[in-house]
């Protein structure tokens, strides 16, 4: 046991005995105080006497070479006074002071005196003394008493970071978080009189001292990463529970992730936009969410939103629609708690023409009702036309909206891979119309009517290529 450990043990013993007996002194003459009958106090007193014997018979080792042949000068003195002298001698400041009454008379009645106060008249504590004081030095190097304010402060992490006080030298602050009244964790910071709370390290924040880099991947730590100088608690968190950037899992408008309309169809008047995110706790609480419309790479931002609400409503222009193929994209993005972008999600709104195909017994299709009679249809642009079309026996028809570019269109017989004899119907009979007007209930446009050259008596498959 070193001298510092020994003296600190004295302090603990003295404080415990004071708590049990309400007496502020312990006599060094190894005589039990006859007025004290508390068994706990007596036990502590006996332990103190044992330590006292260690000092007496092993002073050259225990006190680390400090000259103590004059041990007898302490005989019969109050333990508080002896401890004060040892605290100064071994530079153990700051050590919380035990009760040392104000205006105490002779401090040490010997040739060894305490180098503060008025000669050998002792040291006076402010406000009559008490446990909330410690010994320290002022800027001139003189030993003084200073008061520890707000001893054992207990606050939440948020409360500490908000108030951000400067704890005095040796003053402890306890950060406690609870859940349903149960303490989840406790961490401690000890003040140095200079740094504010947010700049003070936690008492459990050991620094990793080794220069060797990580040899394996573990959590957020990758093989080859340098760990030197990092807080051990941060390394453990990166290994077991690394920080994860939030990401969008979904983004919908009235429950749909994308919309494809036939030309002329109007938007709904209100769309409820809803989204989901991973790691929601790591998303900024502010209105950092950005919802924007991208039309031909021209962006229009809508009012920013709080992503943690997971939904918002937007109003569309009443009756808004496209009468020709067109589209726009609705996008959502945002930031995490560190201000990093968390990616985005999109909803595409697209207007297309409706392609119709099928067979007819008639060699001519020149009315809207005949177009509607074609058995199959789908919404498409030019790229979507490139597919296989299957037909039953009869005249083969494909009606394509005239606004779709059909330049370089080719018709291939799937059975033999050769060109299939198919063209706009006016090619086969110039008395037949190439274009037929059509109204889908929202807008009017023309269909270009393609027909096979002959009446086919067997099922036929045709592929369109460009």
Residues 157, 160, 166, 172: is their CA dihedral positive or negative? Answer: negative
Alpha carbon of residue 282 to chain centroid = 3
| pTM for the whole structure | 0.55
More confident residue, 101 or 270: 270
Distance CA 329, CA 299 (A): 9
Q: Which helix (H) or strand (E) holds 45?
A: helix 39-57
Number of Cβ within 10 Å of residue 449's Cβ equals 25
What average pLDDT does range 219-244 have in this prediction? 87
Say if residue 326's pLDDT is above 70.
yes
Q: What are phi and psi of 200, to 5 degrees?
A: -75, 140
Contact assessment for residue 241 and residue 234, using Cβ atoms and an 8 Å cutoff: no
Q: Which helix (H) or strand (E) holds 329?
A: strand 326-335
Q: Please identify which residue in the block is written with the tokens 């063209």.
A: 423
In this predicted model, which residue has the larger pLDDT, 87 or 325? 325
> Greater confidence, 327 or 52?
327
Distant-in-sequence, close-in-space partners of 409: CB < 8 Å, separation ≥ 6: 385, 464, 465, 466
Q: Do 97 and 134 meet the contact criterion of CB atoms below 8 Å apart?
A: yes
Question: What is the model's pLDDT at position 286?
Answer: 82
The pLDDT tens digits of the residues spanning 388-403 come to 999 999 999 999 999 9
Angle, nearest 10°, between helix axes 39-57 and 3-21?
160
Q: Which of 15-24, 110-119, 161-170, 174-183 is predicted least confidently?
A: 110-119
CA 209 → CA 5, 216, 229, 242, 403, distances in Å? 26, 18, 6, 21, 72
Domains and CATH numbers, the chain: 3-147 (no CATH), 153-240 (no CATH), 247-350 (2.60.40.10), 353-465 (no CATH)
The predicted structure's pLDDT at residue 19: 40
Query: What are 1-12's pLDDT values in tens digits?
Result: 444 445 555 554
The pLDDT assigned to 405 comes to: 94
- Averaged confidence pLDDT in the chain: 75
CA distance 364 to 395: 9
Q: Confidence band (pLDDT; 50, 70, 90) for 147?
A: low
Burial class (CB in 10 A: 0-12, 13-18, 19+), 355: buried
Q: What angle do CA 350, 354, 356 make, to 5 degrees?
A: 160
Residue 103 has pLDDT above 70, yes or no: no
Cα torsion through 390, 393, 394, 396, rounded to 10: 20
- Comparing C-alpha atoms, which of 416, 412, 415 is closest to residue 452? 412
pLDDT score at 329? 93
How far apart, in whole angstroms, are the C-alpha atoms of residue 244 and residue 341?
Answer: 12
Cβ neighbourhood burial of 123 (10 Å; 0-12, 13-18, 19+):
buried
For 89-101, what is the mean pLDDT? 39
The angle formed by the CA atoms of residues 232, 233 and 236, to the nearest 5 degrees, is 85
Q: How many residues does the chain have?
A: 466
DSSP string, 353-372: EEEEEEEESSS---SHHHHH
Q: Does residue 16 have a pLDDT over 50?
A: no
Tokens encoding 291: 């919802």
Note whether 170 and 132 are within 8 A (CB): no
Tokens for 228, please give them.
């030197």
Q: Which long-range contacts (CB under 8 A, 24 or more apart) does 212-217 make?
A: none
CA–CA separation, 377 and 354 (whole Å): 7
- pLDDT higher than 50, residue 319: yes
């Amino acid at each position: 046991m070193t001298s510092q450990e020994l003296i600190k043990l004295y302090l603990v013993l003295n404080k415990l005995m004071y708590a049990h007996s309400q007496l502020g002194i312990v006599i060094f003459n190894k005589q039990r105080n006859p007025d004290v009958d508390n068994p706990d106090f007596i036990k502590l007193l006996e332990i103190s006497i044992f330590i006292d014997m260690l000092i007496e018979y092993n002073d050259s080792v225990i006190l680390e070479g400090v000259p103590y042949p004059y041990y007898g000068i302490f005989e019969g003195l109050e333990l508080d006074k002896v401890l004060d002298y040892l605290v100064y001698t071994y530079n153990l400041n700051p050590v919380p002071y035990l009760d040392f009454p104000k205006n105490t008379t002779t401090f040490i009645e010997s040739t060894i005196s305490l180098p503060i106060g008025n000669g050998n008249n002792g040291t006076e504590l402010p406000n009559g003394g008490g446990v909330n004081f410690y010994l320290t030095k002022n800027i001139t190097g003189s030993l003084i008493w200073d008061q520890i304010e707000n001893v054992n402060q207990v606050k939440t992490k948020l409360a500490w970071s908000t108030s951000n006080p400067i704890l005095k030298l040796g003053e402890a602050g306890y950060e406690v978080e609870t859940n349903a009244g149960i303490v989840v964790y406790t961490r401690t910071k000890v003040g140095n009189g200079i740094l504010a709370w947010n700049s003070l390290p936690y008492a459990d924040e050991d620094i990793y001292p080794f220069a060797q880099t990580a040899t394996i991947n573990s959590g957020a730590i990758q093989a080859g990463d340098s760990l030197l100088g990092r807080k051990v608690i941060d390394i453990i968190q990166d290994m077991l529970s690394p920080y994860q950037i939030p990401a969008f899992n979904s983004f919908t408008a009235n429950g749909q992730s994308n919309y494809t309309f036939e030309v002329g169809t109007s938007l709904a008047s209100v769309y409820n936009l809803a989204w989901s995110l991973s790691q929601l706790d790591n998303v900024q609480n502010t209105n950092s969410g950005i919802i924007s419309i991208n039309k031909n790479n021209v962006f229009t931002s809508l009012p920013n939103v709080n992503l943690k609400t997971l939904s918002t409503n937007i109003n569309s222009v009443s009756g808004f629609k496209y009468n020709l193929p067109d589209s726009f994209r609705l996008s959502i993005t945002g930031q995490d708690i560190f201000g990093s972008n968390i990616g985005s999600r999109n909803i595409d709104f697209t207007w297309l023409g409706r392609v119709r195909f099928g067979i007819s017994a008639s060699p001519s299709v020149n009315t809207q009702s005949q177009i509607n009679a074609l058995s199959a249809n789908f919404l498409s642009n030019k790229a979507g036309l490139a597919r296989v079309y299957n037909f039953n026996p009869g005249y083969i028809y494909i009606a394509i909206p005239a606004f779709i570019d059909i330049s370089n269109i080719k018709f291939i017989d799937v059975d033999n891979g050769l060109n299939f004899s198919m063209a706009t119907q006016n090619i086969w009979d110039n008395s037949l119309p190439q274009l037929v007007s059509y109204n889908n209930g929202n807008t009017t446009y023309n269909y270009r009517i393609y027909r096979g050259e002959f009446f086919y008596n067997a099922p036929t498959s045709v592929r369109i290529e460009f």
